Structure formats: structure tokens, C-alpha cells
Chain A
Amino acid sequence: MERRDFIKTSILAGVAGSTSCSPFRSSSRRDRAMFDKIWDAHVVANLGGDTDLLHVDRHPIHDLHAGVFEGIARRGFDVRSPELTFAVADHSVSTLPNRTLDSSPTSRQLAGRLVDDARELGIETFGIDDPGQGIVHNIAPETGLAQPGMLIVCGDSHTCTQGAVGALAWGIGSTEVRNVLISQTIIQKRPQRLRLNIEGTLSPWVTAKDIILSAIGQFGADAGVGYAVEYTGPTVRAMTMDERLTLCNLSIEMGSRVGMVAPDDVTYEYLAGKQYSPKREHWDDALRHWRSLPSDPEAGFDRELTIDASVIEPQVTWGTSPEHVIGVSGRVPSQESQTGYREAMEYTGLTAGASIVGTPIQRVFIGSCANSRINDLRVAARVVEGRNIAPGVEAWVVPGSQQVKRDAEAEGLDRLFTQAGFQWRQPGCSLCVATNGEFVEAGERCVSTSNRNFIGRQGRDSITHLTSPAMAAAAGIAGTIVDVRSLMQGELA
């Protein structure tokens, strides 16, 4: 039996359905949230109060931290656990089709150096030419490096993405990156717990991206500060792993370093047979452990929020914070009471009270750790199929990983994009953070599937409107912000 088939059989047969033989003894008889179960299982020592020293299971490092190995060697330290460390080239690399390390002004210094140094230390690498290369938060789940119950930290705020597989994952600063390399542990104060319950069936062309943008709009960009978020409810259960990854990705835009979804059969089938998933001889034990992770029925949360997904329409941001968001049929707000309103309106140049639909755009970016997985590309490809890009618009599709790029090409999605006039590029962070020499020109308006519409984020004086991949693709066709539902004229998603 193939490994994947074996694993699938064991999931479906419920081989490991019992939680009675969890390898962990519960530290308390109370019902616990998933967050606390994972946290408690990683405590090396309590440092007083709510602060613990925690063991780190996976520590991916990306190329903006290229100098870190030299830094710790200079201080006389070694990497404590090279086998739990992974080096990824994503932020600095060009996304041009025939790229090399010299195609970007920064990637030889950053991506090249990181990978060279990491290799020397015996660390697994995902360099610019590696068939597994991609954005760190995409390839970690996609290769099975990120698994339920793991504690994962990475020097990047969107590490929260990886919580979608039921991991406890968050972003850290560069001093912390150094300390984790030296010790494979991290000092952390236990946050409070927030449960965001999502109910209701999504309307056609409404996606996980629209749900989380809408939640940030309703609750604010600081709603999650001090909390670890667990996303629950029937709408989340019905989501694919790609959708859950998008949902968790924007946790940090809601203020939470941690976003997570309890593992279930969707998770186990997603991980089955992946390159770094538990090997056959460990699979049943891993599965038994994973099944013990979901929050207990009476687990306490410090804050509970609920949203009705059935009333959400495709979302578009109008300002310079992700909380500056409206439904596509809405109007640009005219209340000065909105947080940061005046500065945002000055920057984005929209007219108060005007419909957001019809706003001319010059650029489209479909990519980033928020939205560049295969489901995202399939939906966007369906929108552009048989249509042509609007004159004067430059639209890029940047797959999140080489794996997704290959899968998309096998399905012919790349041709649908290029026939419509969209550029089909190589994987990387690209226009999400514009630190690889690729950027949106000053004054240009970009509809982007990334996660941040901050001032200057995609390039000095560029303007960003965050949307789902379907909405971004539609904008490329229309040349303006447009409701994808009207473009598709009732065609079902």
C-alpha cells in the first residue's frame, strides 16, 4: 500500500479516534482550550507569573534574516537544533520567469547568503532554485513541516498563517530569532484566548478573505491585541485547508499574533503523505495526539465574538489600515469618526460618499501568503478565462510556491492567465512587501490579494486596495474596482 493510501485508510477507519491514550497527561482536570493544551505541552520552565520558557518544534527562517548565523557565531554560540530549523528564500527573490539571484538588487546578499550559511550548518534549505521554494508560510503547511500541536515561531508576523493546521505559531523579532537558534526555546507571556465563531453559508464569490476582512472591519485592527484567536464554527469546519490558511493569515491584521483552527479530517487528509508529515511508523501515534488537541467542550475563552458569514459580500479596503474596509456595494465612508479617517482619505484619494465600484486601477497583484494557493488561483483563473485585461492595467500572478506553480500549470491555469494578459511569475513575497526591487509606482492604484494596505507598503506613494483573488482578477478585467458577481453575471463560483 502506498504511504498516502495507508494514511488515508487509517484516518477514515478512525484508528486513532480515542483520546484516552494521549501521550500527554493533562496538567489539570479543567476543560482546556486547544491553545492551552499546546502551550502546556511545550513548557520547559515557568519564569514567574504567566511567563514561560517554551520549546520550539519548528523554526523557519527567511532571507531578511540572512546575517543571523554569522551573528550567533560571532557571539560564540552554535545552532542548538539545526534539524528543527529551515531556511527559506522568499522576501528578497525576484519573481521574473527566468530569475537568478542577480535579478533582484537584494537577493544575492540575502537569499544567497542565508541558504549558503544554512547549508553549511546542516539546515534544510529552500533556495531560489529549489523545487520546494516558496513563501515560508505557504511551504511550511504544504510540505507537512507545520503540523497540529506544534509550536512554531518565525521572524515574520504572518507566521500566524500556519495555525490553520492546528499549530501554535507566531511571529517574533530578530533578537528572538537569534535566541531561538541558540537555545531552541523562547520566552513568552501567555496571552488570553479569543474565540471567533463563524456561522452561516457563504454567498457565491465570497471567500475566507472576505470573512476575515469583514471581521477586522467590524471588530477593529486592534481587536485581537493580547489574545490568541481560535476560529470555530460550522463555516470554518466547511473550509478547505487553503481557506483556513487565508483566515489565519490575517489574524495579525486583527492584532493577534496567533490564529488557529482545530485539526479535523480536512487537516489529516491534507497532511497525509506530505514530504515532512509523520512517517508511516509514527502516523497513528501522531494522529492520536492530534485528535486530543481540539478545545474541550467547556473550555473557557476570555473573549468570544461571532460573525454571520451569510450576510458578507466581497470586501474592498478604502484606506490605509485593514480595518478600513467595506462591502463592494458600499460607499466610501464620510464619517470623520472612523479611526485614522483623515490621513487615510488624504492618502488613498477617494471621494467620501462615492461608490467604491468604478475606481480606476493600474495594477493587480494576485499573490502573497494571504492568497496564492491553488484554490485561490483556480478561482481567479475562472474569472479571467476567456476575457482580456483592461488596457493600461498591469496584472501579476505570483504563485505562493513552486508546488502550487507546478499544480496550476498542470491544470492549465497559467495559460488562462497569460491569455487574458496577466503575467505568470515565479514564487516569492513580491509586491506584498516590495523589498525585492519589485514595487508599485508612486500614484498607482493596486488591487492586491495581500494583507496590508499600509502607506507605502507596495512602493512609495502607491495605493493598495485589499480584496480576494476573485475580486482582484475581476478588477484586472474591468480596469476598475468592480463587483466580481456582476462581472460573472450570475455564474456560480
Chain B
Amino acid sequence: MRSLQTVSRGEGPSFISHTGIAAPFLRPNVDTDIIMPLNGRLALMGRESLSEGERCFEPIRYLADGSENPAFILNQEPYRTASILLAGDNFGTGSSRESAATGLRDFGFRSIIAPSFGEIFYNNCFANGVLPVVLDAEVIQHMADQVARNPEVETTVDLEENHIRRPGLATVPFSLDARLRNKLLLGLRDLDEILRYRGEADVFLEGDQVRRPWVYNWH
């Protein structure tokens, strides 16, 4: 494998390997309005100074009086300090709000593992150094069972090795689009890549103005 140390790093957020507490929250279709509501009660109560991490999962994390909901897993030890989320199908479904990704990151999550993701949310994760990993639901259920037995035991999500490991668990391989993997490993930003094609974009635009003048001459 190519040594990462020899490659100059980009300015974007990176992810190489992360070890931390995993929290099982396998509810399906957890939408972006649950992850980061735009109209939350805490905000309405004049507590706008709360960080995104504190507001993350607000509708199910806090009770009507603003106190913590003890039944919510991230209010329980040791999951308060979780940095890996084992999630259900279609996690992050719904809106394009990037605060769903930055809120999870601010809470402390570095990786979300789910059978499938809302696609806009999925892209937003990469822009913010959060690694979404797609695995079969059965595999995630098995990992969740392991975690529930020994919640204090840390899990490692290793992007360099493309696997997840945890004491007592057979190593779980995962795959990721090569470009996205490289982007996180090297901390590359989309914008840097886009700007390298400025010349091509200008040529395209020039040609397209001839091919489809109606798109441009709307004034």
C-alpha cells in the first residue's frame, strides 16, 4: 500500500482510522429533522447558544421540559462519548441541510455505519470528515449485539485497511468508492479538485453557449 506519509495532505478534513465507543441506534429512516431540526424547541426557548452537537437529535434526546430523555441511548453511559454510530436503514433521509452532518461531527461522531444512507446526507458527511460506511443490516445487528454486551470495549473503523475491528469480533471488511476514500485519506477538498479543471470548464462553457444559446441568453 502507498505510504500516506509521503503524500502531501490537502486542507480538507481527513479520516484515516478512528477508534472509539460505538453506539447502537438501529431505528430505520432516522431523518435529518430528527438529527438537526430547524425549528427545535430549545432554539425557540432562547437557547440558540447551544452548539450543534448539543442540539443533535434534539426531538428524541430531550423531554418537553428540556431535560434529557433517559431512554435515548446517547444519554446513557458510556454512549454519551460515542464516536461511532451503528445505525438503521436510510439514515439521514430527508433534507439537504449540512447541519445534520456537522451536528453529528460536533457531537463527536467520526463514523456512521448503516445499511443505507440518504444520499445528500451521505455526500455532506464526506465534506465534513465523517465516514459513512455501508454494511449489511445483519452484520450491523451482530456488531450491535457485541457492543451491547461490552459497551466499554472500543471499536476501530480503519479506512486505510478498509475494515472494522473490535476485540471479540471477526474483522469486518467494507468497500468505498476509490475517489471518496482517497479524498478522506488525504484530506482533499472537492473545491481543490474542481479548480484544477477551471480551463476545461471554461472551454465547456464557451462551446455550450454556441450549442445551447437559449440557456444563456435569457435576459
Contact = CB atoms under 8 A, between A and B. Distances in A.
Interface of A: 23-24, 44-45, 47-49, 51, 53, 55, 57, 64, 81, 83-84, 145, 147, 149-150, 155-157, 171-176, 178-179, 182-185, 187, 189, 191, 221-222, 225-226, 252, 255, 257, 276, 278-279, 282-283, 285-286, 289, 321, 323, 339-340, 343, 433-435, 439, 442, 452, 454-457, 459-461
A382 B112 CA distance: 48
Contacts of A279: 214, 217-218
B98 A222 contact: no
17 contacts: A45-B200, A53-B197, A53-B201, A64-B38, A171-B95, A172-B96, A173-B123, A173-B127, A175-B124, A175-B190, A184-B205, A222-B93, A225-B116, A255-B93, A340-B28, A454-B33, A454-B34
Contacts of A457: 33
B179 interface: yes
A47 B179 contact: yes
A185 B201 contact: yes
A44 B90 contact: no
A326 B192 CA distance: 48
B59 A455 contact: yes
Interface of A is mostly: loop
B177 A49 contact: yes
A173 B120 contact: yes
Contacts of B212: 23, 149, 286, 289
- Give the contact-size bracket for chain B: 35 or more
Given A183-B194, A184-B205, A225-B116, A452 B94 contact: yes
B64 interface: yes
Interface stretch (B39-47, B78-86, B161-169): B39-47
Nearest to A226: B119
A189 B95 contact: no
B37 interface: yes
A282 B214 contact: yes
B195 to A, nearest CB: 7
A222 B90 contact: yes
Contacts of B64: 442, 461
B4 to A, nearest CB: 19
A377 B84 CA distance: 47
A199 to B, nearest CB: 27
B52 interface: no
B194 A53 contact: yes
A442 B59 CA distance: 12
A44 B196 CA distance: 12
Contacts of A225: 90, 116-119
A460 B93 CA distance: 19
B118 A255 contact: yes
A40 B44 CA distance: 46
A81 B204 CA distance: 13
Given A187-B190, A282-B217, A455-B60, 19 more contacts: A23-B211, A83-B219, A145-B218, A147-B215, A157-B96, A175-B124, A176-B123, A187-B193, A222-B29, A222-B93, A257-B119, A282-B213, A286-B212, A339-B29, A340-B29, A434-B38, A434-B39, A435-B39, A452-B94
